[in-house]
Chain A
Amino acid sequence: MSEHHAVAHHTEAHAHGHDHHGHDGHHELGFIRKYIFSEDHKTIAKQFLVTGIFWAIIGALLSVLFRIQLGYPNADLTWMKPFLGKWITEEGQIAPEFYNALITMHGTILVFFVLTAGLSGTFSNFLIPLMVGARDMASGFINMLSYWFFFISGAVMFVSFFLATGPASGGWTAYPPLNALHDASSGGVLGVDYWLISMALFIVSALLGGLNYITTVINLRTKGMKMFRLPLPIWAFFLTAVIGVLSFPVLLSAAILLLFDRNLGTSFYLDAINLAGEPLANSGGSPILYQHLFWFLGHPEVYIIILPAMGIVSEVLSVHSRKPIFGYTAMIYSLLAITVLSFIVWAHHMFMTGMNPFIGSIFVIFTLIIAVPSAIKVFNWLTTLWKGDIRLNPQMLFAIGFVSLFISGGLTGIFLGNSSIDIRLHDTYFVVAHFHLVMGVAAFFGMFAGVYHWFPKMFGRYLNPTLGYIHFWGTISAAYLIFYPMHFEISLPRRYYTHSGFETFSDFAHLNAFISTVAIISFALQLLFVFNFFYSIWYGRKLRESNPYGANTLEWTTPLRPGHGNWEGDIPEVHRWPYDYSKHGRDFIPQTEPLSQYEIEHGEHGDEGDRDIIKKEEDENHKG
Chain B
Amino acid sequence: MEAVATTNAKDLWSGGDSPFKVSYGKIMMWYFLISDTFTFAGLLISYGAIRTSQPKHDAANPLSWPDPNEVFNAGPGFHNAPLIFVTFMTFTLILSSVTMVRAVQEGHQMNRSGVLKWMAFTILGGLVFVGSQAWEWSHLIEEGMTPHGNPFGASSFGALFFLITGFHGFHVSVGVLLNSWAFISTYRGVFDRRGHYEMIEKLGLYWHFVDLVWVYVFLAFYLF
Tell me the A residues contacting B by CB distance below 8 Å.
Answer: 2-4, 6-11, 13-14, 132-133, 138-139, 142, 207, 210-212, 214-216, 218-227, 229, 245-250, 252-254, 256-257, 260, 264-268, 281-286, 289, 292-293, 296, 573-574
Contact = CB atoms under 8 A, between A and B. Distances in A.
Given A9-B195, A9-B196, A249-B38, A226 B24 contact: no
Interface of B: 13-25, 27-28, 31-32, 34-36, 38-43, 45-46, 49-50, 53-54, 108-109, 146-148, 154-156, 159-160, 163, 167, 195-198
B159 A215 contact: no
Contacts of B22: 7, 219
A219 B155 contact: no
Contacts of A285: 50, 156
A4 B32 contact: no
Given A7-B23, A218-B27, A265 B16 contact: no
A265 B147 contact: yes
Contacts of A226: 13-15
25 contacts: A4-B21, A6-B196, A7-B23, A10-B23, A210-B35, A211-B31, A214-B31, A219-B18, A219-B23, A221-B15, A245-B34, A246-B34, A248-B35, A250-B41, A252-B39, A253-B42, A260-B147, A266-B147, A266-B159, A267-B159, A268-B50, A282-B148, A284-B156, A289-B50, A293-B46
Contact of B27 (A6, A142, A215, A256): A215
A256 B77 CA distance: 34
Nearest to B53: A286
B34 A265 contact: no
A388 to B, nearest CB: 29
B27 A268 contact: no
Nearest first, the 9 A-B pairs at minimum CB distance are A253-B42, A223-B16, A225-B15, A138-B24, A265-B148, A266-B159, A249-B39, A221-B15, A249-B38
Contacts of A207: 32, 35
A267 B53 contact: no
A284 B39 contact: no
B108 A3 contact: yes
A211 B46 CA distance: 26
B15 A10 contact: no
Given A245-B35, A246-B35, A285-B156, A139 B148 contact: no
A284 B28 contact: no
Contacts of A264: 147-148, 159
B118 to A, nearest CB: 17
B43 A6 contact: no
A132 B53 CA distance: 50
Contacts of B53: 284, 286
Contacts of B31: 210-211, 214-215, 245
Nearest to A260: B163
B196 A267 contact: no
Given A221-B16, A222-B15, A247-B38, A284 B163 contact: no
B167 A256 contact: yes
Interface centre among B45, B109, B146 (most CB of A within 10 A): B45
A296 B39 CA distance: 12
A225 to B, nearest CB: 4
Contacts of B36: 249
B23 A11 contact: yes
Nearest to A283: B155
A24 B16 CA distance: 22
B24 A286 contact: no
Nearest to B47: A268
Contacts of B25: 138-139
Contacts of B14: 223-226
B211 to A, nearest CB: 19
Given A2-B109, A260-B147, A284-B155, A10 B42 contact: no
Contacts of A250: 38-39, 41-42
Contact of B24 (A215, A245, A246, A282): A215
A267 B147 CA distance: 8
A226 B19 CA distance: 10
A138 B25 CA distance: 8
Contacts of B159: 260, 264, 266-268
A223 B13 CA distance: 10
A253 B46 contact: yes
Nearest to B163: A260
From B22, B42, B54, B147, name the one whose CB has the most chain A CB atoms within 10 angstroms. Answer: B42
A108 B95 CA distance: 45
A264 B161 CA distance: 13
A6 B198 contact: yes
Nearest to B108: A2
